[in-house]
Amino acid sequence: MSRLCAALSDLHALSGAFFCVRQLNAQYVFRGTMRKKITIPDILKMKLNGQRIAVLTSYDFPFTRLIDGGGVDIILVGDSAGVVVAGHDTTLPVTMDEMLYHLRAVKRAEPKALVVADMPFMSYQTGIDEACRNCGRMVKEGGAEAVKVEGGSNMAHVIRAVSSIDIPVMAHIGLTPQSVHRMGGYRVQGRNDQAERIKDDAFAVQHAGAFAVVLEGIPAALAAEISAELTIPTIGIGAGPACDGQVLVIHDILGLCEKYSPKFVKRYADLGPTISDAVSRYVAEVKSGDFPTEEHSFS
Ligand code: KIV
């Protein structure tokens, strides 16, 4: 091999991660790049046309390539990252800096799906100035195309203020994970005499300017009633089939989160054993000396 070829080969090897990224780009762009970028008006039109909206969470570059290639309409950079990525028991410890880190990694994949950034606990509850500033950081520093805040009537003032500076807001009512201590755990909300309060929340967030609302952990019949009455799309999670769209956490549908398995999750793949098996085989081959071979070595 000429010295130039050897140098190029070494350069190739040294930039393995870069090539891996390029391969990912080439392999998983099927539905991702063929479609046009999805915008807020597209999402609103989907409700008008009776088209269901598919939403998944994502927190990093490689998953976003795959998820966007699968054709989702919205990618939510959820604060569930605190649980499924960082290993916390709740979403409460998640910070603005952590959310910005995840958001930027997602945006680097240039998804066609609308990208919504979840606002972490205490980034928007303390007043509209701080809420606007932090939601603005998600757009300006992270590239978010919309933000999500938890809360109903109690957060209407925040939704109104943030929407008024042209940052689209997705609301989130019912079982709101940031309210875990008030709720006394992750419990279904809106049963019996609580139903009216949830309906009031739904109308309050629509009236305040939210472009969509997540309905989490509420009875299917109540979600159906709300979805029929609101003009903005409802995105359900544990809220039955009548919502205008559905959202799930990517780690849950791939079998990557053993800690919790809520009733509303459907597992579309079981990647845990596949990953464990790959790791065990790698370890065994390193220990036995079967890896690396000549094929993986430089002359
Ligand atoms: O943080 C999150 O992932 C969420 C969704 C599951 C709705 O809020």
pLDDT in tens, 181-240: 999 999 999 999 999 999 999 999 999 999 999 999 999 999 999 999 999 999 999 999
| 19 pLDDT higher than 70 | no
pLDDT for 83: 96
| 284 pLDDT higher than 60 | yes
| 12 pLDDT higher than 50 | no
Mean pLDDT of the chain: 92
Rg of the Cα trace of the chain? 22
Burial of 188 (0-12, 13-18, 19+ CB in 10 A): middle
Beta bridge partners of 174: 216
- Residue 138: phi and psi, rounded to 5, are -60, -40
| 23 pLDDT higher than 80 | no
Closest ligand 1 atom to 79 CA: 1
pLDDT for 259: 72
The label of the residue with tokens 């979403």 reads 91
Give residue 276 CA to ligand 1 midpoint distance, Å: 26
pLDDT for 17: 47
CATH superfamily of the 25-282 domain: Phosphoenolpyruvate-binding domains (3.20.20.60)
- Binned at pLDDT 50, 70 and 90, residue 33 comes out as low
The residue-averaged pLDDT of 117-146 equals 98
- Residue 223: phi and psi, rounded to 5, are -65, -35
Domain ranges (residues) in the chain: 25-282
How far is it, in rounded angstroms, from Cα 109 to Cα 112? 9
Q: Which residues have any ligand 1 atom within 6 Å of their CB?
A: 57, 76, 78-80, 118, 172, 214, 216, 237, 247, 249
Q: Which member of 98, 196, 216, 285 is catalytic? A: 216
| 52 pLDDT higher than 90 | yes
pLDDT for 167: 98
Give residue 262 CA to ligand 1 midpoint distance, Å: 13
Please give the share of the chain, as a percent, with pLDDT higher than 70.
Answer: 89
Closest CA to ligand 1's atom 8: 78
- Residue 137: phi and psi, rounded to 5, are -65, -40
Closest CA to ligand 1's atom 5: 78
| 287 pLDDT higher than 60 | yes
pLDDT for 257: 85
pLDDT in tens, 156-184: 999 999 999 999 999 999 999 999 999 99
pLDDT for 14: 45
Give Cα separations from 276 to 40, 86, 267, 269, 273 (angstroms). 40, 19, 18, 14, 5
| 278 pLDDT higher than 50 | yes
pLDDT for 11: 45
Give Cα separations from 76 to 28, 99, 117, 118, 130 (angstroms). 19, 11, 6, 7, 22
How far is it, in rounded angstroms, from Cα 79 to Cα 200? 25
pLDDT in tens, 79-99: 999 999 999 999 999 999 999
Quote the DSSP letter at residue 80. T
| 243 pLDDT higher than 60 | yes
pLDDT for 34: 77
Give residue 149 CA to ligand 1 midpoint distance, Å: 10
Closest ligand 1 atom to 235 CA: 7
- Asked about 216 being catalytic, the answer comes back as yes
pLDDT for 112: 98
Give residue 81 CA to ligand 1 midpoint distance, Å: 9
